[in-house]
């Protein structure tokens, strides 16, 4: 699928869209980390990658030399498409973020939890009588789509449309700018229609929250700000958690000891979820270098991008003993799956709730399952990594 030349030298020529990275990035990250805290590639018009937890953290905390105006590493540098607050730098970042925080607190998520539990069970009802299913296509994919649609106040049945846009923005759009911009415009038009409708028929949802928000001087947000934030919530809220739920189920399908223990000791769920987030963190972000600086003794030059791999940071053995082992009762786990610093994922409490409910409900109804040896697990490439095909068989292996 890739039109990039295959990588022969990961240290000087890495490519996070290479099929080997997509399939199994962990040994590559170990090799890079063992070589240098920061590596560089000429691909993507020049891009660094911090490889240690410490170096990732330094970049994430440094908003002076690293800008968030571009948060995806692509072949080209298309015009910036604001999606506040993820693409905002200080001082614009804080007010844009604060608008979105109250609807995503843990208490707010508790109110949404019964709906998510019902969604999970409706999905399971559809395939539980079968011998197995593709757990990505039939289960993990649909839970975050429906939950975020519920919060935004848009039809859950538009899910396929959202999933296509996300694929175009985050995967196809890495190489093809026209696909990216077309998806952005379609999303804006979609939300503009919903905003227009609410002007006559007010609602109590996230779209209305943003429409009714006022800045410090009492002015409403610009249309571009509202549309940008809505695009962000849709894009960021879906394939991320879909990936995290899918990777957790993938792990449990191939690790009977962990699956049986989690069924027998459901009180381990909180540490297990945090460990799945650490070990299979789906989201890699990016920054654009705006001023010359140094990270881990490596010179960093403006004009380059930075691939900010929180998943690689989470595998750093300097911070996490046995970093390559999945330990579902790991006690010390200050992982960076939701980022570090001011851009901490606004939806982290939503993602945790969705993951917890999705795994709990699955294990209650399907305690025994395994990967289908006749099927193939496939992973998404680039910015968000998770299983896109996850063929499972139900019941104990005979």
Question: Which spans of this chain sit near another protein (rule: CB under 8 A)?
Answer: 98, 101-102, 104-107, 270, 274, 331-336, 338, 340-342, 344, 348-349
What pairs with residue 378 in β-bridges?
A: 389
Least distance (Å) from another protein to the CB of residue 26?
20
Least distance (Å) from another protein to the CB of residue 360?
16
Least distance (Å) from another protein to the CB of residue 102?
5
Rank residues 7 and 313 by Cβ distance to another protein and give the closer one.
313
Q: How many CB atoms lie within 10 A of CB 229?
A: 28
Rank residues 164 and 344 by Cβ distance to another protein and give the closer one.
344
- Spatial contact of 288 and 306, defined as CB atoms under 8 Å apart: yes
Rank residues 171 and 274 by Cβ distance to another protein and give the closer one.
274
Rank residues 46 and 95 by Cβ distance to another protein and give the closer one.
95
Q: Quote the CA–CA distance of 228 and 210 in Å, as a whole number.
A: 11
Least distance (Å) from another protein to the CB of residue 94?
10
Rank residues 277 and 306 by Cβ distance to another protein and give the closer one.
277
Q: Quote the CA–CA distance of 172 and 360 in Å, as a whole number.
A: 33
Q: Quote the CA–CA distance of 240 and 141 in Å, as a whole number.
A: 10
Least distance (Å) from another protein to the CB of residue 307?
20
DSSP state of 139: I
Rank residues 98 and 222 by Cβ distance to another protein and give the closer one.
98
Rank residues 325 and 344 by Cβ distance to another protein and give the closer one.
344
Least distance (Å) from another protein to the CB of residue 314?
10
**Locate tokens 């799945």: which residue?**
276
What pairs with residue 286 in β-bridges?
A: 307
Least distance (Å) from another protein to the CB of residue 221?
18
Least distance (Å) from another protein to the CB of residue 382?
24
Rank residues 174 and 351 by Cβ distance to another protein and give the closer one.
351
Interstrand relation of 387-389 and 378-379 (parallel, antiparallel or unpaired):
antiparallel
Alpha helices per DSSP H over 24-141: 26-35, 53-61, 93-100, 106-127, 135
In 3D, which of 89, 97, 68, 6 has the Cα closest to residue 43? 6
Tokens of 195: 């905003």
In 3D, which of 343, 304, 318 has the Cα closest to residue 90? 343
Q: Is 6 helix (H, G, I), strand (E, B) or coil?
A: coil
Least distance (Å) from another protein to the CB of residue 282?
16
In 3D, which of 360, 367, 348, 388 has the Cα closest to residue 105? 348
Rank residues 232 and 336 by Cβ distance to another protein and give the closer one.
336
Region for 224 from its dihedrals, namely left if φ exceeds 0, alpha if ψ lies in -120 to 50, beta otherwise: alpha
Q: Quote the CA–CA distance of 388 and 141 in Å, as a whole number.
A: 8
Tokens of 180: 């990216």
């Amino acid at each position: 699928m890739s039109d990039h030349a295959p990588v022969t030298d990961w240290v000087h020529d890495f490519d996070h869209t290479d099929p080997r990275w997509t399939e199994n990035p962990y040994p590559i990250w170990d090799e890079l980390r063992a070589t240098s805290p920061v590596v560089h590639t000429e691909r993507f018009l020049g891009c660094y990658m911090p490889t240690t937890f410490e170096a990732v953290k330094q970049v994430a905390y440094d908003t002076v030399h690293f800008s968030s105006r571009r948060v995806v590493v692509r072949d080209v540098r298309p015009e910036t498409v604001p999606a506040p607050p993820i693409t905002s730098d200080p001082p614009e970042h804080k007010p844009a973020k604060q608008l979105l925080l109250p609807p995503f607190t843990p208490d707010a998520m508790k109110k949404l939890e019964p709906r998510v539990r019902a969604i999970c069970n409706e999905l399971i009802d559809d395939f539980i009588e079968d011998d197995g299913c593709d757990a990505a296509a039939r289960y993990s994919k649909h839970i975050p789509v429906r939950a975020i649609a519920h919060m935004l106040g848009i039809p859950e049945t538009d899910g396929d449309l959202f999933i296509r846009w996300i694929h175009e923005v985050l995967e196809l759009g890495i190489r093809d700018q026209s696909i990216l911009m077309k998806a952005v415009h379609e999303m804006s038009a979609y939300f503009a229609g919903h905003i227009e409708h609410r002007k006559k028929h007010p609602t109590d949802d996230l779209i209305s929250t943003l429409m009714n928000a006022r800045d410090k001087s009492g002015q409403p947000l610009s249309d571009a700000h509202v549309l940008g934030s809505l695009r962000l919530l849709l894009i960021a809220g879906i394939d991320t958690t879909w990936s995290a739920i899918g990777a957790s189920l993938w792990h449990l399908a191939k690790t009977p000891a962990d699956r049986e223990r989690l069924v027998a000791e459901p009180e381990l769920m909180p540490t297990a979820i945090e460990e799945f987030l650490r070990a299979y963190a789906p989201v890699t972000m990016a920054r654009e270098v705006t001023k010359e600086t140094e990270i881990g003794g490596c010179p960093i030059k403006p004009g380059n991008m930075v691939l900010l791999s929180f998943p690689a940071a989470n595998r750093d053995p300097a911070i996490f003993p046995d970093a390559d082992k999945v330990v579902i009762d790991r006690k010390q786990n200050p992982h960076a799956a939701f980022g570090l610093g001011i851009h901490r994922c606004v939806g982290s409490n939503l993602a945790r709730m969705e993951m917890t409910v999705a795994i709990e409900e699955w294990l209650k109804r399907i305690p025994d399952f395994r990967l289908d040896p006749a099927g193939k697990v496939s992973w998404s490439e680039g910015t968000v990594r998770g299983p896109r095909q996850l063929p499972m068989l139900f019941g104990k292996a005979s």
